[in-house]
Structure 1
């Protein structure tokens, strides 16, 4: 029997009995346009054939039966997931890489933005400049570590401006293009593109709208070396690798409010996300931390942007940066984007990020339950070490990942989601429980082989973000960790960055009297505000 673990995309990791490959999607790249030389971007025909995405070796529709291209209504169970979540696109000279991200934190003047979550096309600015304290608004997006591996910015924060071996990034791997995408339809879409130049041929009632930010993102946090590995050993299983990881990272996107595209990102993408974030509990009530055994009797809702066939009625529209837009970011230690893609290239792609949720029309089921063996599958107990769908990643010694040229072993705990095999590009999607708490982040698919034949390929995997201390409710729980707020067992957690940068999440920590959120206040942190 063989266990294969697919993250479904550009990153493939081999082990003796398991394979870990990325649930982000990748395709060969083209030569991007240079805004500095060409001025405003107009569609042109590429001189070479447009390459097709190569997100997976196996057919993309392997058992795919999920709902796509449906914007949730206000009462829909997926509405908050939709508002929070975006398609992420990182491009370098070699590859075009897609993943999914969601609003995790922010820093900026909310009052000046009039944040109410409503959709307001922002071709003309909706910002009350008289109220602005600064011309910047910073957004922090959560995704998988294996997606954040695609971000290679030589003006990033330390230690991320070089690889893990302290070597400069190669020219072919440096990030040159970044965009946020969201699926829009109907009047919302028509209003959006009606004022855009060069979009007259793209009148459609459905589209993935991608907006190129003015800056290349930076790395706020990676869940690398986040625990003492000895605290999470399983049956004395050891590893030769010196580091550990959870498949979780946070990237920083700095928005220049004088830049037209950044204004659009803020008003049309970020404002609804902030509204959803606050509706779900605004930091302190949003992120679940509960004993592992309490995950079992839950239903989990998943929404992301896997790369699949776009269909005849779905366009892929790129709102690119232009030379005429404001790119004055020298005072903010940002790396401006000077490259973009041709709309003609975008139009020819037959596989794009497609809005997908885990509703299944074939049996009218919504959400996902944790994995449970069927009566005829008792043999799985000898292949997958799990407790009613909860796994300790320390039991899989060869689940490893290379991040910025250093290999790490996966640690912490995760969920096995039955009948939830989202394809590549969905990596980083948030998992929200029936209790409206965000508990984990989706990262891949488990494939199980019996006698050389594929027996199961429908088990989705997610990484739990927080586990409580003193957990006695689960047979596989040995220690706690908290990737967001920290605890005594967690060496590396996001709240340290939030405190150094005085973000919204840290402001909520300061307001709280609950000790589970205030661990960072008991620790010394190192200010990391340099570039």
Structure 2
């Protein structure tokens, strides 16, 4: 995903978590809604005055989001483009700006109750206000109007294959890992996303041309003049997974060192959003030997059994000045079997 205004661009992976078909199938004026899971620190870059309350009040530097694109590594010939590139990262601008469907926040009561096992954490040493709870997880709602050429191509080539895969898997929560907390450290993990790396892979940008607002409540995008362009040498999102730096091999390897942790005890990550201090609560997964660069945010993390474990949200750099680094990746776990009020240290 790419969100941009007149000053900056924000990249992050978004993966299809749900969708909603139009009530009237043959009425092209009704949108097909996509729901993309991502990190909250990516979703906060979305500044849409027509967003759902209270998210319509969010703004970074009073700059409104004017461009939203979805991209995928795919064969550009599917889009009938005259190019010698056989495979490229194809980015398509949607006809409207998305909205915020869900944010994981305020799920822990601030009152100190007798049976509350994690006491509220203060926002900072010099701030007496208690921080509210949050997880680095959000869902963005993207409307696709199928009479629009660009939206239709996103649906046909990006989303329809993903929906077909979900349906083949049975649309079940069985595709998510669901196991005791202590057992996660015995698995291997892979990041499925588009981290930014220096690459000579071609990037094709398909942009809206002369598109007007489809509905009054949707925000029209700033359209580019050129319908598409090819860029061979720039920092772009591309496919990758974690690789051990201590092993000299060209083959990617899943991380084999991991451990579950309590957000309030291990990293104590804090944030501020909509004028409110937030403290990360709940359980996460730490993965050793990731060494992933920027842009890994929101990547889907699976185990060796091809089950969804969680969503990648941060990298902790352990040896920034050393040639061999051992960065730790932090993953927000989505499902696990509870084991009481504390983590099993074993």
When normalised by structure 2's length, the TM-score is 0.85
Selected match of 2:235 from 351, 355, 364:
351
Which structure: greater strand fraction?
2
Matched, 1:395 2:265: yes
When normalised by structure 1's length, the TM-score is 0.57
Deviation (angstroms), 1:420: 1.3
Q: Are 1:441 and 1:462, in contact at CA under 8 Å, matched by a contact in 2?
A: yes
Q: Are 2:22 and 2:30, in contact at CA under 8 Å, matched by a contact in 1?
A: no
d(CA) in 1 for partners of 2:62, 2:232: 24
Q: Which moved more, 1:452-461 or 1:139-148?
A: 452-461
Deviation (angstroms), 1:108: 0.3
d(CA) in 1 for partners of 2:273, 2:227: 31
d(CA) in 2 for partners of 1:453, 1:239: 34
Q: Are 1:92 and 1:172, in contact at CA under 8 Å, matched by a contact in 2?
A: no
d(CA) in 2 for partners of 1:149, 1:346: 29
Structure 1 counterpart SS, 2:34: strand
Deviation (angstroms), 1:455: 8.1
Selected match of 2:106 from 225, 229, 238:
225
Residue in 1 aligned with 2:70? 180
Query: CA 1:281/1:302 → structure 2, altered by over 3 Å: closer, same or farther?
Result: farther
Deviation (angstroms), 1:211: 0.4
Matched, 1:424 2:261: no
Q: How does 1:177-256 map to 2 (within 5 A)?
A: 177-184=67-74, 188-194=75-81, 200=82, 202-228=83-109, 231=116, 233=118, 238-240=121-123, 241-256=130-145
Residue in 1 aligned with 2:330? 461
d(CA) in 1 for partners of 2:228, 2:150: 19
Residue in 2 aligned with 1:141? 36
d(CA) in 2 for partners of 1:192, 1:133: 21
Matched, 1:435 2:305: yes
Matched, 1:260 2:149: yes
**Aligned pairs, number:** 333
Which structure: greater helix fraction?
1
Residue in 1 aligned with 2:47? 152
Q: Are 2:45 and 2:60, in contact at CA under 8 Å, matched by a contact in 1?
A: no
Task: Encode CA deviations 1:263-285: one digit per residue, 9 max, x unaligned.
Answer: 00111000111122234441432
Selected match of 1:338 from 222, 229, 232:
222
Structure 2 counterpart SS, 1:394: coil
Q: Which runs of 4+ in 1 moved over 6 A?
A: 343-346, 452-455
Selected match of 2:57 from 142, 148, 162:
162
Task: Encode CA deviations 1:130-171: one digit per residue, 9 max, x unaligned.
Answer: xx58631000000001111111110000110003xxxxx367
Deviation (angstroms), 1:237: 8.3
Q: Report the structure number with the largest CA radius of gyration.
A: 1
d(CA) in 1 for partners of 2:341, 2:134: 24
Query: CA 1:341/1:217 → structure 2, altered by over 3 Å: closer, same or farther?
Result: farther
Q: How does 1:371-410 map to 2 (within 5 A)?
A: 371=258, 389-396=259-266, 398-410=268-280
Unpaired runs of at least 5, structure 1: 1-87, 113-128, 164-168, 195-199, 372-388, 478-531
Deviation (angstroms), 1:458: 2.4
Query: CA 1:472/1:437 → structure 2, altered by over 3 Å: closer, same or farther?
Result: farther
Deviation (angstroms), 1:343: 7.2
Residue in 1 aligned with 2:126? none
Residue in 2 aligned with 1:362? 249
Deviation (angstroms), 1:259: 0.6
d(CA) in 1 for partners of 2:5, 2:275: 16
Selected match of 2:193 from 298, 304, 328:
304
RMSD between aligned residues: 3.1
Query: CA 1:227/1:286 → structure 2, altered by over 3 Å: closer, same or farther?
Result: farther
Q: How does 1:48-59 map to 2 (within 5 A)?
A: none
Q: Are 2:181 and 2:338, in contact at CA under 8 Å, matched by a contact in 1?
A: no
Q: Are 2:205 and 2:230, in contact at CA under 8 Å, matched by a contact in 1?
A: yes
